Structure 1
Amino acid sequence: MSHPGCGSNNIGMKLPMAAAFRLPGRHGYAVEFSPYLPGRLACAASQYYGIAGCGTLVVLEQSDTGIHLFRSFDWNDGLFDLTWSENNEHVLVTCSGDGSLQIWDTIQPTGPLQVYKEHTQEVYSVDWSQTRGEQLIVSGSWDQTAKLWDPTVGQSICTFKGHEGVIYSTIWSPHIPGCFASASGDQTLRIWDAKAPRLPVVIPAHQAEILSCDWCKYDQNLLVTGAVDCSLKGWDLRNIRQPVFSLFGHTYAVRRVKFSPFCATVLLSCSYDFTVRIWDFSKLDPLLETVEHHTEFTCGLDLSLHHPGQVADCAWDETVKIYSPSSLVISA
Structure 2
Amino acid sequence: MFSFRTQGYNGYNLKYSPFHDSRLAVAGSANFGLVGNGRLYILGLTANGIVAEKTFDTQDGLFDLAWSEVHENQLVVASGDGSIKLFDVALNEFPIQSWQEHKREVFSVHWNLVDKNTFASSSWDGTVKVWSPSSPTSLTTLATNSCTYSTAFSPHSPTLISAVSSDSHLRVFDTRLPPPHVVHQIAVHTPPPNGYPVELIAQAVGMGNPRIDQPSEVLTHDWNKYRPGVIATAGVDKVIRTFDLRNPRQPLSVLGGHNYAVRRIAYSPHMPDTLLSASYDMTCRVWNDGYSNSPSLPLAAPSPNDPMPSETNVGKCMGVMDRHSEFVVGVDWCMFGADGWAGSVGWDEMLYVWDVRSVMR
Settle same-fold status: TM greater than 0.5.
yes
8 Å contact from structure 2 (residues 286, 360) kept in 1 = no
Letter in 2 for 1:171: A
Letter in 2 for 1:157: L
Partner residue, 2:104? 121
Say yes or no: does 1:147 pair with 2:129.
yes
Runs of 4+ in 1 over 3 A off after TM superposition: 327-330
Please list, as runs of the form range in 1=range in 2, the aligned pairs for 1:94-109 lying within 5 A after superposition. Answer: 94-109=77-92
Please list, as runs of the form range in 1=range in 2, the aligned pairs for 1:36-185 lying within 5 A after superposition. Answer: 36-131=19-114, 133-161=115-143, 163-185=144-166
8 Å contact from structure 1 (residues 309, 328) kept in 2 = no
What is the rounded CA distance, in whole Å, between the counterparts of 2:146 and 2:258 in structure 1?
24
**Secondary structure at the residue paired with 2:11?**
strand
More displaced, 318-327 or 286-295?
318-327
What is the rounded CA distance, in whole Å, between the counterparts of 2:150 and 2:21 in structure 1?
26
Q: RMSD value over aligned CA atoms?
A: 1.4
Letter in 2 for 1:32: K
- Measured against aligned partners, the alpha-carbon deviations of 1:237-296 in whole angstroms (never above 9, x if no partner) come to 000110000000001000001000001100110000100000012367611001101011
**Secondary structure at the residue paired with 1:192?**
strand
What is the rounded CA distance, in whole Å, between the counterparts of 2:39 and 2:277 in structure 1?
24
What is the TM-score with the length of structure 2 in the denominator? Answer: 0.84
Partner residue, 2:350? 319
Please list, as runs of the form range in 1=range in 2, the aligned pairs for 1:149-298 lying within 5 A after superposition. Answer: 149-161=131-143, 163-196=144-177, 197-200=179-182, 201-206=184-189, 207-282=215-290, 286-298=316-328
- Measured against aligned partners, the alpha-carbon deviations of 1:186-237 in whole angstroms (never above 9, x if no partner) come to 1000001112241311000132100001000001110000110000000000
Task: Tell me: higher relative CO, structure 1 or 2? Use CA pairs within 8 A at least 6 residues apart.
Answer: 1
8 Å contact from structure 1 (residues 227, 254) kept in 2 = yes
Aligned length: 311
What is the rounded CA distance, in whole Å, between the counterparts of 2:348 and 2:116 in structure 1?
37
Letter in 2 for 1:303: W
8 Å contact from structure 1 (residues 309, 329) kept in 2 = no
What is the rounded CA distance, in whole Å, between the counterparts of 1:236 and 1:74 in structure 2?
40
Choose 1 or 2 for highest CA Rg. Answer: 2
1:164, distance to aligned residue in structure 2 (A): 3.3
- Measured against aligned partners, the alpha-carbon deviations of 1:50-78 in whole angstroms (never above 9, x if no partner) come to 00001000010001221000100000000
More displaced, 318-327 or 117-126?
318-327
Partner residue, 1:26? 9
Letter in 1 for 2:171: R
What is the rounded CA distance, in whole Å, between the counterparts of 2:315 and 2:135 in structure 1?
48
Among 18, 22, 25, the residue aligned to 1:35? 18
What is the rounded CA distance, in whole Å, between the counterparts of 1:315 and 1:134 in structure 2?
29
- Measured against aligned partners, the alpha-carbon deviations of 1:155-207 in whole angstroms (never above 9, x if no partner) come to 1011111x232100001100011111101011000001112241311000132
Partner residue, 2:300? none
1:134, distance to aligned residue in structure 2 (A): 4.0
Unaligned runs of 5+ in 2: 190-214, 294-313
8 Å contact from structure 2 (residues 285, 321) kept in 1 = yes
What is the rounded CA distance, in whole Å, between the counterparts of 2:358 and 2:251 in structure 1?
25
8 Å contact from structure 1 (residues 288, 327) kept in 2 = no
8 Å contact from structure 1 (residues 46, 80) kept in 2 = yes
8 Å contact from structure 1 (residues 81, 124) kept in 2 = yes
**Secondary structure at the residue paired with 1:80?**
strand
8 Å contact from structure 2 (residues 253, 315) kept in 1 = no
What is the rounded CA distance, in whole Å, between the counterparts of 1:318 and 1:327 in structure 2?
23
**Secondary structure at the residue paired with 2:319?**
strand
What is the TM-score with the length of structure 1 in the denominator? Answer: 0.91
8 Å contact from structure 1 (residues 119, 141) kept in 2 = yes
Unaligned runs of 5+ in 1: 1-17
Identity of aligned residues (%): 38
What is the rounded CA distance, in whole Å, between the counterparts of 2:257 and 2:359 in structure 1?
19
